[in-house]
Structure 1
C-alpha cells in the first residue's frame, strides 16, 4: 500500500472519530445504529470490531464484539438476544441492530474498528422514548352548586417531560374548550380548578398526557348537585301525597253521600207512616133512628180509638159533653123491648163535644185543671 493511501485512511479516521449522531426511538421499537469503515481494505485477518455502551455507570460496557473470527453478543444481560451486526461487517458495514428497545438501552454508543494498527470510531447517542403510562384522573372537592372542585391527572411513568392538557367532551364525543369557571394551575398543568360551580360545569372531562413518544388519556365525570334538589324532591313528594289524600277524601265523601241518600230513601216511608194524621171521628146527625145513648157511646168510643194518647180526663169530658139518658128511661126501653125515640139533642152541645175531641193533649189537661 502506498503512502498516499495510508495518509487518506488516516485523514478519514480522524474525520469519522469526530462524527456524532443522535437517535430517538420509541420503546419496543427497533433501531439500527450506523457504523461504516474502510479498514476492511487492509484485509480481514486482523480486523477487530467493538461496540461499547456508556450509560449512567462510570465505566462503558461492551455490547458486541468481533475478534479472531468470532462474534460475542451476550455480554450485557439485559440485551441478550436483542443485539447483532446489521450487515456484512467484514466489508465495511459494522452497523448495530437493537430490537425491542427498552429504556435501559439508552445511552452513548461507540463503534470502534481496528485493523493493522489503524483505528476508526464513531459516537452515537441513543434516546429511548417511553410514552406516558395511562394517566389516572380524579376529582376533589364538593360537587354542590356554588362550591369549588379540583380535577387531577397523573401518569406514573414515561419519558420526561410529560405534558398535560385538559379538555371537555361534548355530547357528540368531540373534545372542546373548558367552561368559563375552569382555571389551569400554572405551577402544575395536570390540575385545574373550577370555582362557583353551576350546571354548566356538568359533563365529561378528558386529560391527555403526552411526550415525544406518544400520548395517553383518561376521563372523569363531573355532576353538579343543585342545592334546590332536596326542596324540589320534598315538594314533589308532598304534592303526590296531597293528591292521593285529596282523591281518597273525594272517594270517601262520595261513598258517604251515597250511603246517606240510601238511608234517607229507606227511612222516608217510615216517617210518613208515623206522621200520618189520625182519622177524624164521625159525627152523628141529630134526628137519626139510633138512640142518643148509643150515639154518645159510639162517638165516645170512636174518639178513644182515634186519640190513643188521650188521658182518662179527656174521656170523662167527652162523655159529659154528650146528652145523658136517665136510668128510668133506659129501664123503660129495656122493659118495653121497643126502641123509643130519644130526646132531641141541643146542637150547641154537639159542637162543644166535637171541639173537645179535636183538642190537643195539652189543651185537654188545661180543661181538666179547670
Structure 2
C-alpha cells in the first residue's frame, strides 16, 4: 500500500508534464474530452472510471463524474452542475466526458482514470476555453478642424489575450475596408491607438476598429468629420451682416419717425401764423340823436356833417385796413408802401370837411352848447 500511494503521487505530480491532448474551444460551445479503454472485457463489476479536474496546477483536483459498482456518480462543482455527463457507452470502452455550453471557468486539466482489478489506464486532456473579445469601444481625441491632429482609440474590456487591434477606413454601402491615410501612424506598442496628422476634409469619413483573438473578432465604428476653419469665419460674417441689417432697419425707422414729426410741426406752425394777424377793429358808428322840435333844423345839419365825417373816416380806415389773407411779411410791406404813397390824404380831406361844416353853419355850435 505505501508503494502504491507513492506511485499515485508521482503519477499525479506528472499530469501537467505528460499531458498528451490539448483541446481549444470557444466560450458557449460544447466539447467532448476523449477517454477510451478496453478494460470492460475483464468484467463490469470490478470496472471503475473517474474524471478529475484541476483548474490550476497548484490547486487540489476535484472529481467531476465517476462509475463504480455498476453505478454512476456525479461530483461536479457548482459551476458545472447539470452540464457534465458521459458522452457514450463507457462500459463498452468509450468513457469520454461531455461538457456543454462551456464557460471560462471550465478551462484546466482533466484526467480520466480507468481501472479494473490490477489493470490501470490514465489519459490527460488540457482544455482551453477561449473568450471572444467584447465589443470594443471607439472614440477620438483632439481637435477635428483643418490642420489639427487627432487620435483614434479602441479597447475591448474582456476577451482572451492576446487581443489584436486593427484600424481601417470604411467606404460605400458595401462597407469596403480601406487603408488608413498616408498622414497617419499606428502605435508600435499599442496598435489600438492611431494618430492622424495635419487633418483636411479628405480625412473625413467612417473608421472601423477590429479586435481579434483566437476565439473571434468584434468591431466598432467612429465617424470623423473635419470642420473647415472658414466655416467659423463665415458664421462670424453672417452674424455681423444680420446685426448690420437690424441696425440699418432701426435707423430707417428712426429717420421716418423724425421726418413725420418735423412735417407735423411745420404744418402746425403754418396754421398758427395767419391767426396772429388780426383785422383792425371797425370804427365806432356814430349815434344819431333824434332832434327836438325846436332844434330839428340845426341838429339835422349837424347830423349831416357827422355822417359825412363818419363816412370819410370809414373810407380812410377801409383804405388803411389790409386784407386778412395776407401773411405778416406781405402785410408789413403793403403797409409801408401805402404810408409812403398817401401820407396825408385822409387827414386833409377830413380837415377840409370840418372847416366847411363850421363855416356853413355858424350857429350850430352855439345851439349845442346851449343844450
Contact 2:19 2:126 (8 Å CA) reproduced: no
Q: What residue is the counterpart of 2:237 in the other structure?
A: 235
Q: Is the 8 A contact 2:145 2:228 kept in 1?
A: yes
Q: Deviation string for 1:124-165 (max 9, x for gaps)?
A: 332211111232333333334322221222222211221212
* Local SS of the residue matching 1:156: coil
Decide which moves more: 205-214 or 54-63.
54-63
1:26 is matched with: 26
- Report what 1:305 is aligned to: 321
- The answer (yes or no) to whether the contact 1:296–1:322 under 8 Å persists in 2 is no
In 2, Cα distance between equivalents of 1:258 and 1:26: 89
Q: Residue 185 of structure 2 contacts residue 195 of structure 2 at CA under 8 Å; is this kept in 1? A: yes
Partner deviation per Cα, 1:73-96 (whole Å, 9 max, x = no partner): 315554343322111111111111
Q: How far did 1:174 drift?
A: 3.0
> What is aligned with 1:182?
184
| 1:127 and 2:143 aligned | no
Whether 2:47 is the aligned partner of 1:47: answer yes
Give the 3-state SS of the residue equivalent to 1:79 in structure 2: coil
Deviations 1:22-46 (A, max 9, x none): 3221112211112222222222232
CA distance in 2, matches of 1:19, 1:57: 12
> 1:209 Cα deviation (Å)?
1.5
Segments of structure 1 that go 5 or more residues without pairing to the other structure are 1-17, 279-291, 338-370
Change (3 A) 1:336 1:231: same
Supply the RMSD in Å over aligned alpha carbons.
Answer: 4.2
Compared CA separation, residues 67 and 293, structure 1 to 2 (3 A): closer
Deviations 1:234-291 (A, max 9, x none): 322221121122223334434544555566667667778989xx9xxxxxxxxxxxxx
Report the TM-score, using the length of structure 2 for normalisation: 0.66
Does the CA contact (< 8 Å) of 1:53 and 1:63 recur in 2?
Answer: yes
Tell me which residue corresponds to 1:85: 86
Identify the match of residue 246 of structure 1 among 228, 245, 248.
248
Q: After superposing the two structures, state which structure 1 stretch, 21-30 or 109-118, moved more.
A: 109-118
Query: 1:192 offset after TM fit, Å?
Result: 0.8
Secondary structure of residue in 2 paired with 1:161: coil
